[in-house]
A = this chain, B = another copy of it.
Amino acid sequence: MSPPLRLGIAGLGTVGAGVIRILQQDATLLTARTGRAIEIVAVSARNRDKDRGVDLSAYAWEDDPVALAGRDDIDLFIELMGGSDGPAKAATEAALAHGKDVVTANKAMLAIHGQALALQAEDAGCALRFEAAVAGGIPVVKCLTEGLAGNRMSRIMGVMNGTCNYILTRMETAGLPYDTVFQEARDLGYLEADPTLDVGGIDAGHKLALLASIAFGTQVDFGNVTLEGIERITIEDIHRAKDMGFRVKLLGVAQMTGRGLEQRMTPCMVPLNSPLGRLENAMNMVVLEGSACGQIVLRGAGAGEGPTASAVLSDVIDIARGLRLPTFGQPAASLTIATPAVAPTPARYYLRLHLHDKPGALARIATILGNQGISIDRMRQYGHEEQSVPVLIVTHKTNREALNIAIDEFAGTGVLSDNPVAIRIENV
């Protein structure tokens, strides 16, 4: 039997408590699987006195996570504090400086400092692993880094923020506007303290950038993820999209194109009857497309105590078993710097207009689209609503630039009663 793996855990929120609970309850099972004991030696959090529903009395307490990270009696530092900088980063760096392996659930820290931290880890001969940072309980980092390592990956897609998916699902099923559902989600505790991280697509964008690095062998480049949140999605568009056979998702897409690496986390339309289109409530889904495997779809809970703890433990167990890999699958120094794609690949678009009810209004719109080389796949005009006529257009594949020019030109016609909405239709 190998010597025990000794853990220090910093951050005792829901996930930290979940990890401790499993280590306490299932010690025998985990030892059978790893061939060694996994022991918690010390913990750290902001508030020592809070009741977390787990017994911490057997563990040393450190007020300072940096001090915890440097303790001689731990082998592995588990960082569950969150935040891209501050104590999480300081403690992670300290752990690596002391030759400790690190497991983290911190997508923000890795999306911004992942390359530097991975280099530091590899120089120190340490593991730095982050399964729990992406899509909660779905073992997507492992699937991509190891399970699909024989593939040239062509595209990664994902619904990776359960809160946004919950909001969009709830808007559709309850017929409630964004603001109301947003408030519901806040009341239910589904939103981060800064809700922009969720609804602005930032949190999901961090996750996408991490997966893109593994998939394409490139340095994490969160700064070049095109971000657009769900704040402007209306219930009208959700319902009209459904009429046309689509559902709106906050969808991450990363693909390597001839013009560079494209990374987007934006609202997209996907077919109602696709796995992504059918994904409801707070579930996450990641779609991995590779040269040999074809399309692999992974679905599961993207957050919560159990799922995230499951992912943290996956990394801990790998380390206990001696399964060691570079952070992003290949040595950090070998990751290339991707040229960001200047524009998204052409796609079909959903276009929703409100026109004044005047003769020739639709003709003006159609003419402008035609002049920009944008052809119309399907068009539907609805009956008058108050002062305007809703018109839906599904275009054939077009460049976003051409569409933007057309939309600018619409404004000059005087036929619009409202700002048009254009949403990309992702070919899933």
Contact = CB atoms under 8 A, between A and B. Distances in A.
A47 to B, nearest CB: 25
Contact of A147 (B33, B142, B152, B278): B142
Given A313-B149, A330-B32, A331-B35, A293 B306 contact: yes
A303 to B, nearest CB: 11
Nearest to A294: B301
Nearest to A325: B321
> Which bucket holds chain A's interface residue count?
35 or more
A24 to B, nearest CB: 13
Contacts of A238: none
Interface string A315-328: 01110011111000
A139 B313 CA distance: 19
Contact of A18 (B273, B275, B292): B292
A147 B143 contact: yes
A27 to B, nearest CB: 12
Copies in the complex: 2
A271 interface: no
A334 B29 CA distance: 11
A142 B152 contact: no
Contact of A297 (B142, B300, B331): B300
Q: Which of A148, A306, A323 has the most CB of B within 10 A?
A: A148
Contacts of A30: 149-150
Nearest to A140: B147
A292 B307 contact: yes
A316 B147 contact: no
Contacts of A295: 300-301
Interface in A143-181: 143, 146-152
A138 interface: yes
A298 B297 CA distance: 6
Contacts of A325: 321, 323
A267 interface: no
Nearest to A31: B330
A138 to B, nearest CB: 6
A150 B298 CA distance: 18
Contacts of A317: 146, 149-150
A306 B289 CA distance: 12
A5 to B, nearest CB: 13
A187 interface: no
B290 A310 contact: yes
A296 interface: yes
A299 interface: yes
Contacts of A152: 26, 29
Nearest to A287: B299
Contact of A217 (B32, B146, B294, B316): B32
Given A33-B149, A150-B314, 14 more contacts: A26-B150, A26-B152, A29-B217, A33-B217, A137-B293, A149-B313, A149-B314, A275-B275, A292-B307, A293-B301, A294-B307, A296-B299, A296-B300, A321-B325
Interface of A: 18, 22, 26, 29-30, 32-35, 131, 137-139, 142-143, 146-152, 217, 273, 275, 278, 290-301, 304, 306-307, 309-314, 316-318, 321-325, 329-331, 334
11 contacts: A29-B152, A29-B217, A139-B148, A142-B143, A143-B147, A146-B318, A151-B310, A273-B278, A275-B299, A290-B310, A293-B310
